[in-house]
Amino acid sequence: MTAIVLTKDRSIIVTKRSLSADQNPGALYFVGGYADAPDEGDVVDLFNEAAREVMEEIAVADLSRSTSLAIGIAYDAVFCHPELFLLTVSQSTAAEILEGAHNAPDRNEAAELIALPLIDILEERGQLATAPKTWSFIRGRTFLARHLLQCSV
């Protein structure tokens, strides 16, 4: 799953994968990962799984279930799995998240953490114009733009 984290001050948290990463080295992506396998008979709570990934990767623990939305689902044909895209809202500012991210337990996947204004994500400008991007980043950006367009109509 992919979690698109929107900050209190309307920035999006983006990570740049490590050059030594097995998948998509050096490319931009949002926070994400696989849901943990449930115990037999249990149901997977996708919000909790997304919140766990966000906590592990960028140490953000203030996501709200009531303001989080599933904005898309797509099939990753390269790695053979469906991917759920969630828009999650943090009550922290981008600066607070960037400062606190060094406390994240799983910071080894990302070489760099970046906070970009929402408009830069939507218009793919600034450093996004030429940066390599993961499939999930491209799909997530498309779902985000479509969601925000539908909400503003």
The beta-carbon contacts of 118-123 under 8 Å, at least 24 apart in sequence, are 118/6, 118/10, 118/11, 118/12, 121/12, 121/14, 122/148
User: In angstroms, rounded to a whole number, what is the distance separating the alpha carbons of residues 17 and 112?
Assistant: 7
**Does residue 46 surpass a pLDDT of 60?**
yes
Query: 52: closest CA among 111, 1, 116?
Result: 1
Q: Could you tell me the domains of the chain?
A: 2-152 (3.90.79.10)
Q: What contacts 25, CB < 8 A, 6 or more positions away?
A: 17, 18, 19
Q: Return the pLDDT at 153.
A: 44
pLDDT band at 20 (very low <50, low <70, confident <90, very high): confident
Q: Return the pLDDT at 109.
A: 67
pLDDT band at 79 (very low <50, low <70, confident <90, very high): confident
Tell me the percentage of the chain whose pLDDT exceeds 70: 97
Over residues 86-106, the mean pLDDT reads 93
